[in-house]
């Protein structure tokens, strides 16, 4: 599978997990469009930067991943707070990202 197809697959999986989490937090309508857009911006960027960090730096992969995931949570928190007007935007961002990260790890363990 090409890297581009992998990035797209991971993005679609992220959307399939995070949108329902945001629905559980009460986000509706156009606010879900902001969820989708936030993920379109952060997810590929995190994955590409993680791959580059693993390939070209001596930073431990877990450290790179932690920094990048924290950055994604913070970026999405800003979108949910200022654009989407979510109630408790930080918790929405944190739980959505934790769910997609955790389920992504589980799926990776099962498939590979």
What are the φ and ψ backbone dihedral angles of 73, each rounded to 5 degrees?
A: -60, -45
Domain that holds residue 95: 3-111
Contact 100, 14 (CB under 8 A): yes
pLDDT at 74 over 90: yes
pLDDT at 45 over 80: yes
- Entry pTM: 0.92
Q: How many structural domains is the chain composed of?
A: 1
The DSSP line for 18-48 is: HHHHHHHTT--THHHHHHHHHHHHHHHHHHH
Reported confidence tier of residue 85, pLDDT bands at 50, 70, 90: confident
What does the DSSP 8-state code read for residue 85?
-
């Amino acid at each position: 599978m090409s890297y581009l197809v992998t990035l797209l697959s991971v993005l679609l999986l992220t959307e399939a997990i995070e949108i329902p989490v945001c629905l559980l937090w009460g986000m509706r309508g156009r606010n879900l469009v902001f969820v989708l857009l936030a993920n379109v911006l952060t997810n590929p960027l995190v994955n590409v930067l993680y791959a580059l960090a693993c390939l070209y730096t001596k930073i431990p992969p877990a450290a790179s991943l932690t920094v990048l995931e924290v950055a994604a949570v913070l970026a999405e928190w800003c979108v949910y707070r200022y654009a989407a007007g979510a109630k408790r935007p930080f918790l929405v961002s944190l739980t959505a990202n934790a769910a997609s990260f955790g389920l992504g790890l589980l799926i990776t363990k099962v498939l590979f």
